[in-house]
Amino acid sequence: MKVAILSAMREEITPFLEKYPHYSVQEVGGNTYYLVKAEGYEIILAYSKIGKVHSALSASTMILHFGAEKLIFSGVAGGLSPKLKVGDLVIANKLCQYDVDISAFGHPLGFIPESSVYIQADQKLNALAKTVAQEMGIGLHEGIIASGDSFIASAEKKKWLIETFGADAVEMEGASVANVCHLLKIPFCILRSISDSADGEADVSFDEFLESSAKISADFVEAMLKKGL
């Protein structure tokens, strides 16, 4: 089986390259893809660069060019729910794009014609993640992840995301990857480790905890692969 593991930043994909150092490299569309055979899979690894456009391009390339049959996004996010603290793991049961706004035409925020506000993640992969978390004895939160092309570091914006979308975490790529996988009929799981609280201190927390949070997420994905997708 061919499995894509995608992240947004170099720091998020580095733990995987350290786990699986025997890889080949291909350049496609201005991005680097690392190909490795490990854990019984053909794995395609990449970091897309930040934002919804880059992540959508990378996810599409992994599926259409490299033939990925399942996709896991591994990285960090800002915590919105008061239940989440730095280092906690969260998987999306559904995702939305909080910065899509055609409300002038009477549509709800986040709505795209011929689509919907929310996109559901794959239930089987999420169930596997829950099983792995239980076996590892660690907490795994499941909730709504909101995505948009802004780094959230405002208590007011944080409150708005919770009230408008019921979001538990916020980041800049998950919903675009979800949309690509949904349209191309590829099962996907969006896994995030909390790096900050998406408030006025988010920039400080993010820099401090980026690498450690990214490693937590990568270790968990490795456990999922060993368990069997």
Active centre residues (catalytic): 12, 196
**What is the C-alpha to C-alpha distance for residues 214 and 13, in angstroms, rounded to an integer?**
8
Are 73 and 191 in contact by the 8 Å Cβ rule? The answer is: yes
Please give the C-alpha separations between residue 92 and each of 12, 107, 134, in angstroms, as whole numbers: 18, 24, 17
Tokens of 111: 């709505």
- Encoded amino acid at 66, one letter: F
The residue among 224, 226, 204 whose CA lies nearest residue 86 is: 204
Report the interhelical angle of 10-19 vs 202-227 (nearest 10°). Answer: 30
CB atoms within 10 A of CB 127: 11
